[in-house]
Chains A and B, each alone.
Chain A
Amino acid sequence: MSLVWLYAVRHGGADRPPAGPGVDGERPRLVVEGPLVAVVGTVREEEFDEAALARAMEDLDRIERLARAHHAVIVEAAAEEPTAPLRLATVYRDDEAVARMLRERAAEFAQVLERVRDRQEWGVKVYVDAKPEAPAEEPASSGKPGTAYLLRRRADRDRGAQARERARAVADRIDETLAGVAAAAHRMRPQDARLSGRAQEMVLNATYLVDAEAEEGFRAALAAVEADGATVELTGPWPPFSFATLGES
């Protein structure tokens, strides 16, 4: 028995399935319903039914393989057509169930696909030196070590708060600049420093939906941010994961 894994829904390209391989090593297929084209894969039921998926979700290696394959197929699917990526692990019994869903949600998908047409998602991470500056001066000694300690602690705390405030201000300013060039913007939680392997602190982890025509301007805005002293990491273009949401106008 097999199941149908849903990767993405797009407009067009009804004769060009992605090459894959997909999450189960399969070659992706297409389910066409009117103007909508679902990119799907036939997967083994024993590996993708509820119990198997629940198990898979406990296994980080398996999640990584699923996530990478899912992502890769969507990248391919989105190369030429407006495409709405599906969240990981959307699985149907058969093609007819997929087609029925496409019929029922045709209007919503049309809206989503129009929103992302000729636009790409770009991820931007900004790192700054967020370490508090060294103490400027010792608080005047009162002769009481306990008091001096408390004053030092307060100064440390104030500097920490100032560093956070500065980092927040930098992030807000950069986000505002980039959002001004983008069609839409979305901020994510900054990733942990141990993930990036950088000494600097990630102060901004955001993603932007950018018109193909505006890409040059977006890059120029990024370059200006960089010239300002921040370390900028650009990822993408991504399929519009963060901006393809049903039920939004």
Chain B
Amino acid sequence: MTTGGLPVPGRTARPPEHRQESTNLADILERVLDKGIVIAGDIRVNLLDIELLTIKIRLLVASVDKAREMGIDWWEHDPSLSSGQRDLNEENRRLRQRIGDLEAARTRGELENGSAPDAEAESRPEAQPESRPEAQPEPVRRRSARAREERE
């Protein structure tokens, strides 16, 4: 049955807390996709797809390069707990290389009149975000093509 009924004045007055546009999309998706009553309707929307979707959403909205870690164990794996540790692996590699060089130098006795390796390593400035080697040229081309279109 469909309800007609009396016109109710004030129905346009929404609850004061209703701020639809400003509500964080992630907050909404967390609820409408992950929560709420689950019933299989007549139209089958595979729930596995919904699960996959939330992962996709996390990939797109939340965290492109960390979704896998987030999906496994956020606390254990999230390097952004310390933003200084983002490039840990790279820093690790560089420092190991440096130490290898220094220790090799020391064994050759060349360090006697050199500078203190520790201080040098410590004062190394924070690495600038380097251009990612995996950056794909394809989207860039497309973007610039689009930019050209817009200019025309």
Contact = CB atoms under 8 A, between A and B. Distances in A.
Given A88-B32, A189-B70, A31 B15 contact: no
A177 interface: no
B11 A16 contact: yes
Contacts of A123: 27
Given A192-B70, A241-B35, A235 B24 contact: yes
B31 A48 contact: no
B32 A71 contact: yes
Interface in B1-48: 1-3, 5-6, 8, 11-12, 14-15, 17-18, 20-21, 23-39, 41-45
B118 interface: yes
A131 interface: yes
Interface string A187-201: 011111111000001
B145 interface: no
Interface string A27-53: 001111000000000000000111001
B57 A60 contact: yes
B42 A91 contact: yes
Contacts of B11: 16, 19
A84 interface: yes
A235 B23 contact: yes
A92 B36 contact: no
Interface residues of A, number: 80
A3 B45 CA distance: 14
B6 A146 contact: no
B70 A32 contact: no
22 contacts: A3-B43, A6-B39, A14-B3, A15-B3, A16-B5, A30-B3, A50-B43, A50-B45, A57-B50, A67-B28, A71-B23, A75-B15, A75-B18, A84-B37, A85-B32, A86-B36, A88-B32, A91-B43, A130-B81, A145-B99, A195-B61, A245-B38
Interface of A: 3, 6, 9, 14-17, 19, 29-32, 48-50, 53-54, 57, 60, 63-64, 67-68, 70-72, 75-76, 79, 84-93, 95, 97, 101, 105, 112, 123, 130-132, 138, 141, 144-146, 148-149, 153, 156, 160, 163-164, 167-168, 188-195, 201, 235-238, 241-242, 244-246
